Amino acid sequence: MPPKKAKGGKKKKNSGKPEWMSEELYQLTQNLPKLQEFWCGEVKETKGKGKDGQPLPDPPNITKEQAGRYMLALLFPNNKVAKERRQDCIKLQVIETSIKILVSGKPEEVQHAMGIIASIVETIDQARQIMLDNKPAPLSHILKAFHHESASLKASVCNLFRVLCLKDDSRPRIWKAMKEFDWSLLFSCLQLQDRSQLGGRNAALDATTALAALCSAPEPAIAQGACNAVIAGNGLRPMVQLLSDRVSHPMTRAAVLSVLNAVMRRNPSALSEEVVLGMGALKPLIYMFDHAIIPLINKSYAAACLLRFIMPDSLWKDSSALSPPASKAKGAKAAAAVAAAAAGVLSAAVGSDPAMALPSIADPTSVEATPATAGMASTTAAATAGSPGGPNAKAEELKALVIQGLETDGAAAAAAEAPAAIPDALLLDEETKAEIMRRARIIAEMGAIRPLVLLCNGPDGPLPDLEAKVTAPVAPDAGEKKKKPKKKKGKGKLEPGMAEAQVFASAVLRLISLDDAWRVPLVQAGVVRYMVPLLDVKLSPARWNARQLLVNLSMTPQLMSTLQLYKVPNYVHGANVPGSHFERPYSLSGDDLERVPDHLSEPRKNLMSSRLSTTSKPPALRGYGASAKPTPVQVSG
């Protein structure tokens, strides 16, 4: 056994000091004003005397790179002491000094300058304003740092870039500086995960978070332009790889789901098909539903991507490229250019890689192209035909189209904020319905039904499993006392992202239920237990999706017993009356009353009695009937 520690021993001083570090150097690393002197290159003489009355010795001589490293170690932790030190940095002018090093410093010094600026401006608004208003302007130098090949330096740049993209006051400024930015440099940071010891894994996390902030920005022009840039820079493929990479950070995958949702909902169905099938994103998207760390709101984005993949362009009303506002001509032209750019990138990618040329899910001989898709294809063909310089000229034209999308006023992107509208099955023509069923079948065959059903869970949970109780054997009564019934609890509150998850997941399940072959697997997955509570939610899209899904299930006679077991409302399954019911001859006999459901029997009996009693007349009004006699009036005197 190891020897016991002696009680009452004194604690060692400077427990955070490494063994190799001298006492003088450790004291210097904890002195922020003195580190700032080394950081700016103006070291002052040490004044004062120690406890023994002797003059204080000069601190150890360190380089500017070492001063930046020690200063970053003081400012980086997220604790109270570090927050106070960040406030002191404003008085010490650490931000101004770091920007000067950012402009003309060595790469190893620039790396620490990036980290120091990011640590300060992330939590202090005043410091962020100082950085944005500084002369020389630091934003262009921050973007130039992406050209360095050092993985650790790129990790520091991505960290600062993420902070600037997340803040509302700095996002428009950094976006304006990115007009001539080469987006491929940012996408190259997504492929640094194998250099995790040099910060490559953090670089991928910060880069995807920044892209998610831009593509989902509240400013429509920024969101639309960022989505166009992701397509033009071929950034979708490395993002899909991050979803399937086992070393990816969970929040990296969450940010990728946000970017995919923002890009797919703004572009034609051909792009969604290429992402889901051509790039292999279908299986990773379904796997994200069962991830234990990814937030619920990001799981709803995965369901939204599947919904966009299923719905054809003729029904998708949530795309600025397909349905631009007619009132603003500038927004319409920009949307047409954006659609042409997206189609051009897709065709160029397929043409360069023969393995990516997959057959379309929708049969081109049976499904006609929508006007928007046809116009987009003609625009792309014209742009391709007019580029005599080959792939390089096409890339330049594509870059010009993307820049044109960056300069839009946001009118086309504003149309992407409305929720997608799914029409009823009775309003779909046969070709469109067959196309939807083909795409939904691909998702169902990959095992997505059960995860989607669980995604529809509400704050109060699903209904109890009544089918298991019916089949389970009844235990004999052992004379135990009866338990008092529990009091009913109030309705639970929705968690963040739960409403979005219910809307998108129920919409995908509703489209899957159009196929007769998948209705029984839906019920076996417990969809009825999760859809019945959605009939009472306040959110109308989720409520309507649940209602129409249950109506589709009621079309299968063998599922009626399950619907009645869970007490599905009569207006859902009782309304399933075939058209032949209204064409049959009317019978005056009352034998058919037994076949009528209970909730319709009383009105039917009243109707039958009124039709059988043909001789009866309605009672006469009092005082106005034929048998009524006038009341004599007595006159006095």
Phi, psi of 465 (to 5 degrees): -75, 90
Query: Is pLDDT at 524 greater than 70 in this prediction?
Result: yes
Classify 570 as helix, strand or coil.
Answer: helix
Q: How confident is the model at residue 323 (pLDDT cuts 50, 70, 90)?
A: very low
Token pair belonging to 567: 């007490």
Q: What pLDDT, in 10s, does the model give residues 182-220? A: 999 999 999 988 888 888 899 999 999 999 999 999 999
Q: Are 294 and 250 in contact (CB under 8 A)?
A: yes
For residues 83 and 35, give the distance between their C-alpha atoms in angstroms, rounded to a whole number: 17
pLDDT of residue 450: 95
pLDDT of residue 539: 86
Query: Is pLDDT at 575 greater than 90 in this prediction?
Result: no
Residue 319 DSSP class: -
Give the burial class of 100: count Cβ atoms within 10 A of its Cβ; 0-12 exposed, 13-18 middle, 19 or more buried: middle
What Rg value do the Cα atoms of the chain yield, rounded? 35
pTM value is 0.73
Residues 6+ apart with CB under 8 A from 21: 29
* 70 compared with 56, residue with greater pLDDT: 70
For residues 36 and 532, give the distance between their C-alpha atoms in angstroms, rounded to a whole number: 64
For residues 200 and 193, give the distance between their C-alpha atoms in angstroms, rounded to a whole number: 5
| Residue 602 one-letter amino acid | E
Residue 134, Cβ neighbours under 10 Å: how many? 16
Of the candidates 184, 189, 187, the residue with the CA atom closest to the CA atom of residue 204: 189
* 49 strand-pairing partners: 55
pLDDT of residue 388: 39
What does the mean pLDDT of the chain come to? 76
Q: Are 118 and 163 in contact (CB under 8 A)?
A: yes
* 431 compared with 469, residue with greater pLDDT: 431
- The listed range with the strongest mean pLDDT (25-34, 317-326, 473-482) is 25-34
Residue whose tokens read 């609890």: 489
Phi, psi of 55 (to 5 degrees): -60, 145
pLDDT of residue 41: 85
Of the candidates 113, 207, 212, the residue with the CA atom closest to the CA atom of residue 161: 207
pLDDT of residue 425: 65
* 633 compared with 520, residue with greater pLDDT: 520
Classify 385 as helix, strand or coil.
Answer: helix
